[in-house]
Amino acid sequence: MFTFRALRRISPRSALPMTVLSAALLAATACGGGSEAGSGSGTRVIAGFYPMAWLSEQVGGTAVSVDTLARPGAEPHDLELSPRQIAELGEADLVVYVKGLQPAVDQAVSERAKDRGLDAASAVRTLPPPAEDGHGHEHEDEHGHGHDEGSYDPHIWLDPSRMATIATALGERLAKADPANAAAYRAGARTVAGRLTALDGEFQAGLKNCERRTMVTAHAAFGYLADRYGLEQVPIAGVDPTAEPSPQRLAELTHEIRENGATTVFTETLVSPKVAQALAREAGVRTATLDPVEGLADGSRDDYVSIMRKNLQTLRTALDCA
């Protein structure tokens, strides 16, 4: 069940009342080691946003308690941390985040949890950010950037094969933080990596034979998905989904949609669809929702895998895949 307080807790059991959670936090501060979670004792993990929280819960199972810093239904890029969140981040056993996605989290980890932070992007080959003209970095498997090479596209979780690699790295970090449960963490990592590898196979098969390979997206979140499955991403906005495209950019996109024969402009779940809808009307095409899985809508019963499968079906329809 998913609940929310100052941090959003992900737990395999039901959430406990606020008084119990508060007592647990006091116990964690007093002990200084593994914290008392809302569902019992365990290694305390704080995730910057939903995909890393989901992965942490899958790898750690009942041996961990997982909180996420991003509020349900909120777009995570511009997250601002409260003093309480910053203090609790400093008390966590492990902080799992993607450096460059949430500047406030980057700063807090650097100041409060530098030796207990796992930057998920450090575990995988990253890609450069989209070019200034809005086009992504598709088909750059042999030219991807190492994580230490500066600016990169942070949306690594939209490639299930990269998520599988991150799961393995996370299992090792949890094993280091909590050696008593090392075997369980490594087993959890193998299990979720296997699920993610199977999901990758579904995408490989489902997007192999398509009439079109261009996807017009609300923002440049899908570069890793495009890179993995041989698609071309044409984003309305850049890496920041709140950025407003210029009239010139919208005119260019309208021309590009017509020229490429695209039939769909993809909207998202956590940002306004108005610009995408206006572009679709101007170009004479339809809209559909392609979820960047940056967070769950409040009250959603979906998870990472179910959302990605919905994305696959949406893409297959829009791209006319056999």
Question: Is the same domain home to 11 and 103?
Answer: yes
Phi/psi at 198 (nearest 5 deg)?
Answer: -65, -40
Do 137 and 282 lie in one domain? The reply is no
Q: In this structure, are 8 and 156 located in the same domain? A: yes
Q: Indicate the number of domains in the chain.
A: 2
* Whether residue 56 sits in one domain with residue 134: yes
Same domain, 97 and 139: yes
pLDDT at 94 over 70: yes
> Can you tell me the distance from the alpha carbon of 156 to that of 134, in angstroms, rounded to the nearest whole number?
18
On the question of pLDDT at 10 being above 80, the answer is no
Tokens of 34: 């593994």
**308 is in which domain, residue-wise?**
207-318
pLDDT of amino acid 135 = 53
Instruction: Please write down the HEC assignment for all residues of the chain.
Output: CEEECCCEEECCCCCCCHHHHHHHHHHHHHHCCCEEECCEEEEEEEECCHHHHHHHHHHHHHHEEEEECCCCCCCCCCCCCCHHHHHHHHHCCEEEECCCCCHHHHHHHHHHCHHHEEEHHHHCCECCCCCCCCCCCCCCHHHCECHHHCCCCCCHHHCHHHHHHHHHHHHHHHHHHCHHHHHHHHHHHHHHHHHHHHHHHHHHHHCCCECCCEEEEEECCCHHHHHHHCCEEEEEECCCCCCCCCHHHHHHHHHHHHHHCCCEEEECCCCCCHHHHHHHHHHCCEEEECCCCCCCCCCCCCCHHHHHHHHHHHHHHHCCEC
Q: In what order do the strands lie in the sheet with 232-237?
A: 232-237, 214-219, 264-267, 286-289
pLDDT at 34 over 70: no
Same domain, 154 and 33: yes
Q: Which of 181, 202, 223 is the last residue of a domain?
A: 202
Is residue 247 pLDDT above 50, yes or no? yes
pLDDT of residue 41: 59
Q: Angle CA(199)–CA(172)–CA(107) in degrees, nearest 5?
A: 90
User: pTM for the full model?
Assistant: 0.83
CA separation for the pair 146, 123 (Å, rounded): 10
How much of the chain, in percent, has pLDDT values that exceed 90?
68
Token duo for residue 82: 């409260």
Q: Is residue 192 located within the same domain as residue 211?
A: no
Listed range (2-11, 27-36, 253-262, 308-317) with the worst mean pLDDT? 27-36
pLDDT digits 0-9 by tens, 279-313: 999 999 999 999 999 999 888 899 999 999 999 99
Domain CATH number, residue 252: 3.40.50.1980
Which is more confident, 105 or 21?
105
Q: Do 58 and 154 fall within a single domain?
A: yes
Phi, psi at 319, each rounded to 5°: -95, 0
Same domain for 53 and 84? yes
- Residue 239, pLDDT score: 67
Domain stops at, among 202, 237, 270 = 202
pLDDT score of 35 more than 60: no
Same domain, 222 and 156: no
Mean pLDDT to the nearest integer, 76-100: 94
One-letter amino acid of 173: R
Q: Do residue 9 and residue 130 come from a single domain? A: yes
Same domain, yes or no, for 109 and 191?
yes
Q: Which residue has the higher pLDDT, 251 or 239?
A: 251
Please give the structure tokens belonging to residue 45. 């993990």
Residue 261 has pLDDT above 80, yes or no: yes
